[in-house]
Structure 1
Amino acid sequence: MASATPVVIYPPDEDGGRRVRIEGAIVGRAFSMQDVAAFMQEAGLQQFDEMDVVRSSLIEWRGGGPDVWAH
């Protein structure tokens, strides 16, 4: 993960899912912080958990922070 904010979490869609982009590639949709943590783990940060999702400077939240999951 080379760039300053390599992870972008997009605003919730009509189903409450948020697209997750890691280093330029869409890796899926998250419906909770646990889902985001799982994507981060798959990207190589095996120790990443939900608290890391909340406080990480690696993540740029668009359309609301980690507590926003409804459209």
Structure 2
Amino acid sequence: MATSTPVVIYPPNKEGSRRVRIDGTVSGCAFSVQDVAAFMQDAGLQDYDEMDVVRSPLSEWQGSGPDVWTM
């Protein structure tokens, strides 16, 4: 994963998930910070955990922060 490209976590949808895009590619829909961490690990950041996702400058939380998963 190119570390200069942020991980974009889109606003929550009515199903209670958030779309996640890494390096310009949609990785899937996350239902929790743990899901985002798993996507980042799959993208090559194996040591990233939930706190890294929340604090990382790579993570761009759109619409709301990591505490919000419903509309």
TM > 0.5 fold call: yes
Report the counterpart of residue 52 of structure 2 in structure 1: 52
The superposition leaves residues 14-70 of structure 1 with CA deviations (integer Å, 9 ceiling, x where unpaired) of 011000000101010000000000000000000100010110000100010111101
Q: Which amino acid is the alignment partner of residue 8 of structure 1? A: V
How many residues of Structure 1 are paired with residues of Structure 2 in the alignment? 70
Q: TM-score, normalised by structure 2?
A: 0.93
Q: TM-score, normalised by structure 1?
A: 0.93
Query: Where do 5+ consecutive residues of structure 1 fail to align?
Result: none
Q: How does 1:13-52 map to 2 (within 5 A)?
A: 13-52=13-52
Equivalent-residue separation in structure 1 for 2:21 and 2:31 (angstroms): 14
Secondary structure of the structure 2 residue equivalent to 1:47 = coil
RMSD, aligned α-carbons: 0.9
Secondary structure of the structure 1 residue equivalent to 2:46 = coil
2:3 and 2:58 in contact (8 A); partners too: no
Shift of 1:6: 2.1
Query: Where do 5+ consecutive residues of structure 2 fail to align?
Result: none
The share of aligned pairs that are identical, in percent, is: 70
Shift of 1:2: 4.3
Report the counterpart of residue 70 of structure 1 in structure 2: 70
